[in-house]
Chain A
Amino acid sequence: MQARLPATNRAGFFEIRMESIGGLGANLAGKMLAEAGVLKLGWNGTFSAAYGSEKKGTPVRASIRFADANHPIRGIYAVDEPHVVAVFHEALLQSQDCTAGLQPGGVLLVNTAKAPTEIVRRTGWRAGKVACVDATAIAVRERTRVNVAMLGALCRVMDGMPPEAVMAVIRETLGRKDAALVERNLRTFRAGYDEVRVEDMAPAAAEESGAATPATADRTTPVLGYRNQPQGGCIPEPGNSVWRDLSASRQGVLPILRLESCIHCAACDQVCPDLCFVWTAREGRNGRVFQFLAGIDYQYCKGCLKCVAACPTDALQAGREEDGYAEAHRTKHPFAFA
């Protein structure tokens, strides 16, 4: 198979960045795409991923760099000025600067049921094409994973990437397991390829508006340098992880609480890994003070649903997470800061 690179930057590279969370299979998708480029199309290519640890649900960022067959790719460093950004989980648009450095005229691909215009509204990025694919729905339908549906969409938005190349790699990678699985994954890939909706957001304005965020923005600039970082790496701020927002770890489901049927037994609270349950002390009917469940602090909920399994009544139920539900139904922990 032969194909030309869709585009190249000053250094001669075509670059893709994947924004995902652990467990969605972005690494495997990235690896398969890179293999398709290198082993099937004869390009030069590298694939690298940056992750903090092996945990599920934590942000993962992966970089793919392609070049012509004889053009060296020497350095291994994160893609700063990608031609394509693929966002595997919509919530990352909130928690990460996904469009940083994205080239004018490039493509922002998002796993979402929303329309491209809605993504533009959320991200403010309109310097190129916005592509939307409901990879989650495809994966549910085919009983596969989001990553292969995203791979299909990615292949489509990479003008000139022959789908056969990627499909050959999928076959080789998954073929070892079983044939039915390969078939389902090829259908998933096809669906991603066919169902992605691409809209050019600023055909004329692209040049003048430039990238939405400064290129080569160092997104990791710490606010703590050598003059203000407390000595020895100590953190003299107990419990300050309460500032973190873990909503992006959820994959479409969360527990829904109906207080009417709650018997306040605290089974949910005891099994919750993420300390999400909020309690208040109130006088009960007999005048004595009792603990009452007030609600769930969804900012920390990762959607494991252990609480639903533990609940002896039907007060806790699993539900699909609708847009805005968690924010609207969140009961905040009443933290007192030092």
Chain B
Amino acid sequence: MSIGQRVEALDTWSSHPLFEQRTDLCSGNEMAARAAAQINYHLMGYFPITPSTEIAEYLDEMKAHGEHDIVLVPADGEHSAAGICFGAAAAGGRVLNATSAQGFLYMLEQLPVQSGTRLPMVLNLVTRSVSGPLNIHGDHSDLYYALNTGWPILLARTPQAVYDMNLMALRVAEHPDVRLPVIVAYDGFFTSHSKQRVQYFANREAVQWFVGPVRKAEFDLFDRDHPVTVGPYMNEPDYIHNKYQQSLAMYRAGEVFAEVAAAYARISGRYYGALDTYRLEDADIALVILNSAAETSKDAVDALRAQGIRAGVLSFNILRPFPVRAVQEALAHVQVVLVAERADAYGAHGANLTHEVRSALQAVQAQCTVLSRVYGLGGKEFHPADAEALFQICLQAWRGEAVPAFDYYGVIAGDPAVRPPRGLKPLAKEEVSGFVQVTRDEKTGELIVKVPPLRALTAKAKRLAPGHGACPGCGIFPAIETFLKGIEGDVVVLYQTGCAMVTTTGYPYTSHRVTYIHNLFQNGAATLSGVVEMFWERKRRGEIQIGEDPTFIMITGDGGMDIGMGSALGAAMRNHKLIILEYDNEGYMNTGSQLSYSTPIGHMTATSNVGAAQQGKAFHHKDTPQIMAAANIPYVFTGVEAYPQDLIRKAAKAQWYATHEGMAYGKVLTACPLNWKTPDDAGNEVVGLAVKCCFFPLYEVEHGITRITYDPEARGERVPARAWLERMGKSKHLLRPENEALLQAFEAEVERRWRRLKAKHEHELL
């Protein structure tokens, strides 16, 4: 039976008014969020990543309007998100998470910990391709890493199934025989972002009734009379028994799913078997294909059947445990099966599903040819014509023609004479040198910097080329280029994931005129450390002949200094000769404006909404320059494009330190008109106001000595914080009378930090 089909025989209770359903047009992410809100989970720990981010966003928006009371905990990275969920699950309540791709891989380490500890929860895996190169679109590469984590995996082909599976997943997870965390996986963009006709329970009570009260676990962390040790150190001969229990629980999850699905059909009229089959009963050829592409393939089946070709499709509603018996029954009579996979198990002659299907059929000695194709990677669309082409391969094999057992579908060779669009001549030395001078006063040890006027600096070549895809008025590039005006000679840059990276390197184009490398934003500082140390070692071995040493610069967003904080501090401790330049636009803008720890209190983002029940972000902004200063690196600074000479001077100093002593770190505040909700032309003025209200003071910490480089108070130019806040759509609600207390809290925090900074400025030892 397939979904959407009403199961009349079971349709016994669905007519009861409690189970009334409403029809709507919704996306998969909306349905995941709706299910979560109706379940009213205790807690969600999360970190944003496309295309799963919307789930947390929708839930935050609903929360701002008082529609549920799930505690939403924004983590500093997925590893932490998984840790938060692990802890929360151990502590006994209902727990939710959602992620994709790198986020999933980053939390992967935690997943077996949780299944081995037998702590149920639900994770929505909105499937997406895995880096590198970075690609945000849908395939199953992340899902395939989930296969061996010990989490039962439910698949949802449509937004409707996303809702239904989310309700069923919780019951499977909490079943006393199972007690495992469960993944619900659905296709990024194809299912997560497309709106389709759906039904859902009009009353949350129906959902509450179905999932029931939280099932008591064997142990309760807060039962003070029965303290329990969770997570011991366990060697042989015990460990294998823990795993055997886990294995049994996993197989049991398959049976429990069947029971839960039957119960769910009774109230919803929608039944989900282990498999979803389409016209397979008498099929000669069949596609085995997961999630949304299975739906597309059904259209191809109809078309082929109209030509008298008996084709069918098999897809999975549950992938772990693998429903081996059902697969055998469904496919044993088929002549040629093609397993089409949106992921590869490189070097394995077919990805995982191929081998699982093949071994299932071999076990019953089915006389069936099993072919394997990798298709649709990185979000490459799958049309009915593609499904037909795959069926054609089956037909060829059936006719006895030689077709490869394993191959990629949908790739082209390309003409070796064709190259990526031609680039620019490398920058000549004199184009980037001889503009800014830094000398060290031998007596005082002070660095003396000479910066020519901006006009003269226009002769210095920019390290970026035009043609990047940032929004109109984006503040990132003026900040980076102003900074680079202070950097002489060759540079090698590393950009962490974020707007600057994404908008400058959309394949096959790059806006970088200098050598550039990307790594994901939790690991850029470590990566650049490796680049730098290899440079020095290869130079020492005489493998690099280079006149002048390049300056190594990492560009990161403020989000990169959340998830990548550990990596940055590690690099600081090792004191590599490199510069970290953080552009702070007060949020995770690349993924659509979620709060970062640098977002000020009360500011509105997609995960800190404003409504009756909530007024923007709940906690104060992170003071990253002070954290980096506490790492005792030689040089720390702040800057903005609105004070160009100040920023250029600091860049020159940073370069001096990063070539002579060790690491320098700087933070520049950059406007994001799109998400700050400011006019495109206002960025320069708005970041200037942030400086003038002392929210973002301009200063440097040189060998531990703090110096304020622009003191708006002393100059009589200080403005109140509201003068800055009122300019941005994301913060102007703070000026409303009902938010007076919040505004005061913000002003007090700004004042406290400013006073402390002044004290440091005045006293060398602070």
Is A216 close to B, CB under 8 A? yes
Residues 218-255 of A, flagged 1 when their CB comes within 8 A of B and 0 if not, give 00011111111110110111111111101001100000
Is A266 close to B, CB under 8 A? yes
Q: CA separation between A306 and B680, bound complex, in Å?
A: 7
- Contact assessment for B419 and A237 in the assembled complex, using a CB-CB cutoff below 8 Å: yes
Is B591 close to A, CB under 8 A? yes
- Contact assessment for B24 and A230 in the assembled complex, using a CB-CB cutoff below 8 Å: no
Is B468 close to A, CB under 8 A? yes
Q: A48-B193, A56-B471, A270-B482 are in contact. Are A38 and B462 (CB under 8 A)?
A: no
Is B618 close to A, CB under 8 A? no
Q: CA separation between A333 and B46, bound complex, in Å?
A: 45
- Contact assessment for B196 and A233 in the assembled complex, using a CB-CB cutoff below 8 Å: no
Q: Which of B459-489 contact A (CB under 8 A)?
A: 459, 462, 464-478, 481-482
Q: CA separation between A216 and B295, bound complex, in Å?
A: 20
- Contact assessment for B465 and A242 in the assembled complex, using a CB-CB cutoff below 8 Å: yes
Among A76, A222, A336, contact of B190 (Cβ-Cβ < 8 Å): A76
Q: A243-B421, A274-B468 are in contact. Are A338 and B509 (CB under 8 A)?
A: no
Among A11, A35, A240, A249, contact of B472 (Cβ-Cβ < 8 Å): A249
Is A286 close to B, CB under 8 A? no
Q: CA separation between A332 and B403, bound complex, in Å?
A: 53
Among B195, B454, B674, B684, contact of A48 (Cβ-Cβ < 8 Å): B195
Is B455 close to A, CB under 8 A? yes
Task: Give the chain B neighbours of A244 by CB distance below 8 A.
Answer: 467, 469, 509
- Contact assessment for A273 and B590 in the assembled complex, using a CB-CB cutoff below 8 Å: no
Among B293, B419, B467, B641, contact of A271 (Cβ-Cβ < 8 Å): B641
Q: CA separation between A305 and B673, bound complex, in Å?
A: 12
Task: Give the chain B neighbours of A193 by CB distance below 8 A.
Answer: none
Is A46 close to B, CB under 8 A? yes
**A331 smallest CB distance to B (angstroms):** 12
- Contact assessment for A266 and B23 in the assembled complex, using a CB-CB cutoff below 8 Å: no
- Contact assessment for B421 and A302 in the assembled complex, using a CB-CB cutoff below 8 Å: no
Task: Give the chain A neighbours of B504 by CB distance below 8 A.
Answer: 241
Residues 273-315 of B, flagged 1 when their CB comes within 8 A of A and 0 if not, give 0000000000000000000110110110000000000000000
A275 and chain B: residue at smallest CB distance:
B466
Is B422 close to A, CB under 8 A? yes
Task: Give the chain A neighbours of B414 by CB distance below 8 A.
Answer: 222-229
Among B413, B456, B474, B509, contact of A241 (Cβ-Cβ < 8 Å): B509
Is B570 close to A, CB under 8 A? no
Task: Give the chain A neighbours of B512 by CB distance below 8 A.
Answer: 238-239
**A204 smallest CB distance to B (angstroms):** 31
Residues 364-389 of B, flagged 1 when their CB comes within 8 A of A and 0 if not, give 00000000000000000111110000
Residues 72-83 of A, flagged 1 when their CB comes within 8 A of B and 0 if not, give 111111101000
- Contact assessment for B467 and A246 in the assembled complex, using a CB-CB cutoff below 8 Å: yes
Q: CA separation between A267 and B190, bound complex, in Å?
A: 45
Is A303 close to B, CB under 8 A? yes
Q: CA separation between A265 and B4, bound complex, in Å?
A: 67
Residue in A45, A228, A235 with the greatest tally of chain B CB atoms within 10 Å? A235
Among A54, A222, A243, A309, contact of B509 (Cβ-Cβ < 8 Å): A243
Is A297 close to B, CB under 8 A? yes
- Contact assessment for A235 and B644 in the assembled complex, using a CB-CB cutoff below 8 Å: no
Among B293, B458, B477, B685, contact of A279 (Cβ-Cβ < 8 Å): B458
Q: CA separation between A94 and B476, bound complex, in Å?
A: 28
Task: Give the chain A neighbours of B196 by CB distance below 8 A.
Answer: 46, 73, 76
Q: A48-B194, A225-B411 are in contact. Are A273 and B464 (CB under 8 A)?
A: no
- Contact assessment for A57 and B472 in the assembled complex, using a CB-CB cutoff below 8 Å: yes
Among A216, A223, A270, contact of B478 (Cβ-Cβ < 8 Å): A270
A221 and chain B: residue at smallest CB distance:
B412
Is A34 close to B, CB under 8 A? yes
**B291 smallest CB distance to A (angstroms):** 10
- Contact assessment for A34 and B420 in the assembled complex, using a CB-CB cutoff below 8 Å: no
Among B190, B419, B514, contact of A238 (Cβ-Cβ < 8 Å): B514
Q: CA separation between A336 and B191, bound complex, in Å?
A: 45
- Contact assessment for B681 and A239 in the assembled complex, using a CB-CB cutoff below 8 Å: no
Residues 251-279 of A, flagged 1 when their CB comes within 8 A of B and 0 if not, give 00000000000001111011111111101
Residues 495-517 of B, flagged 1 when their CB comes within 8 A of A and 0 if not, give 00001001111111111111000
Is B400 close to A, CB under 8 A? no
- Contact assessment for B478 and A266 in the assembled complex, using a CB-CB cutoff below 8 Å: no
Task: Give the chain A neighbours of B506 by CB distance below 8 A.
Answer: 52, 241
Task: Give the chain A neighbours of B502 by CB distance below 8 A.
Answer: 53
- Contact assessment for B299 and A240 in the assembled complex, using a CB-CB cutoff below 8 Å: no
Task: Give the chain B neighbours of A226 by CB distance below 8 A.
Answer: 411-414
Is A88 close to B, CB under 8 A? no
Is B592 close to A, CB under 8 A? yes
- Contact assessment for A242 and B467 in the assembled complex, using a CB-CB cutoff below 8 Å: yes
Q: CA separation between A305 and B589, bound complex, in Å?
A: 21
Is B133 close to A, CB under 8 A? yes
- Contact assessment for A228 and B458 in the assembled complex, using a CB-CB cutoff below 8 Å: no
**A308 smallest CB distance to B (angstroms):** 6
Is A14 close to B, CB under 8 A? no
Instruction: In the complex, identify which listed stretch (B175-183, B201-209, B423-431) lies at the interface while the others stay far away.
Output: B423-431
Residue in B467, B478, B685 with the greatest tally of chain A CB atoms within 10 Å? B467
Q: CA separation between A312 and B426, bound complex, in Å?
A: 34
Q: Which of B11-48 contact A (CB under 8 A)?
A: 23-25
- Contact assessment for B644 and A57 in the assembled complex, using a CB-CB cutoff below 8 Å: no
A289 and chain B: residue at smallest CB distance:
B459
Is B227 close to A, CB under 8 A? no
- Contact assessment for B513 and A238 in the assembled complex, using a CB-CB cutoff below 8 Å: yes
Q: CA separation between A39 and B593, bound complex, in Å?
A: 30
**A238 smallest CB distance to B (angstroms):** 4
Task: Give the chain A neighbours of B434 by CB distance below 8 A.
Answer: none
Is B418 close to A, CB under 8 A? yes
- Contact assessment for A269 and B458 in the assembled complex, using a CB-CB cutoff below 8 Å: yes
B190 and chain A: residue at smallest CB distance:
A76
Is A300 close to B, CB under 8 A? yes
Is B347 close to A, CB under 8 A? no
Residue in B293, B482, B681 with the greatest tally of chain A CB atoms within 10 Å? B681
Q: Which of B424-447 contact A (CB under 8 A)?
A: 424-426
Is A290 close to B, CB under 8 A? yes
- Contact assessment for A223 and B466 in the assembled complex, using a CB-CB cutoff below 8 Å: no
Is B682 close to A, CB under 8 A? yes
Task: Give the chain A neighbours of B564 by CB distance below 8 A.
Answer: none
Task: Give the chain B neighbours of A35 by CB distance below 8 A.
Answer: 25
Is B236 close to A, CB under 8 A? no
Task: Give the chain A neighbours of B503 by CB distance below 8 A.
Answer: 53, 55
- Contact assessment for A224 and B197 in the assembled complex, using a CB-CB cutoff below 8 Å: no
Q: A222-B412, A291-B459, A338-B425 are in contact. Are A55 and B469 (CB under 8 A)?
A: yes
A293 and chain B: residue at smallest CB distance:
B458
Task: Give the chain B neighbours of A49 by CB distance below 8 A.
Answer: 193-194
Is B543 close to A, CB under 8 A? no
Among A44, A241, A267, contact of B510 (Cβ-Cβ < 8 Å): A241
Residue in B25, B385, B474, B503 with the greatest tally of chain A CB atoms within 10 Å? B25
Q: CA separation between A223 and B687, bound complex, in Å?
A: 42
**A266 smallest CB distance to B (angstroms):** 4
- Contact assessment for B510 and A240 in the assembled complex, using a CB-CB cutoff below 8 Å: yes
Among B453, B469, B510, contact of A235 (Cβ-Cβ < 8 Å): B510
Q: A48-B189, A306-B683 are in contact. List 17 more A-B contacts (CB 8 A).
A: A39-B24, A72-B298, A73-B196, A76-B190, A78-B381, A224-B420, A237-B419, A237-B420, A237-B423, A240-B465, A241-B467, A241-B504, A241-B506, A243-B467, A273-B476, A304-B681, A338-B423
20 A-B contact pairs sorted by A residue (CB < 8 Å): A35-B25, A38-B197, A46-B194, A48-B189, A49-B193, A50-B189, A56-B472, A75-B292, A75-B382, A222-B412, A223-B414, A225-B414, A226-B413, A228-B414, A229-B414, A240-B424, A281-B459, A305-B473, A336-B424, A337-B422
Q: Which 8 A-B pairs have the closest CB atoms?
A: A225-B414, A237-B423, A241-B467, A75-B296, A239-B465, A48-B194, A304-B473, A233-B133
Which residues in B have some Cβ–Cβ distance to A below 8 Å? 4, 23-25, 132-133, 136, 189-191, 193-197, 292-293, 295-296, 298-299, 381-385, 411-426, 453-459, 462, 464-478, 481-482, 499, 502-514, 589-593, 641, 644, 673-674, 680-685
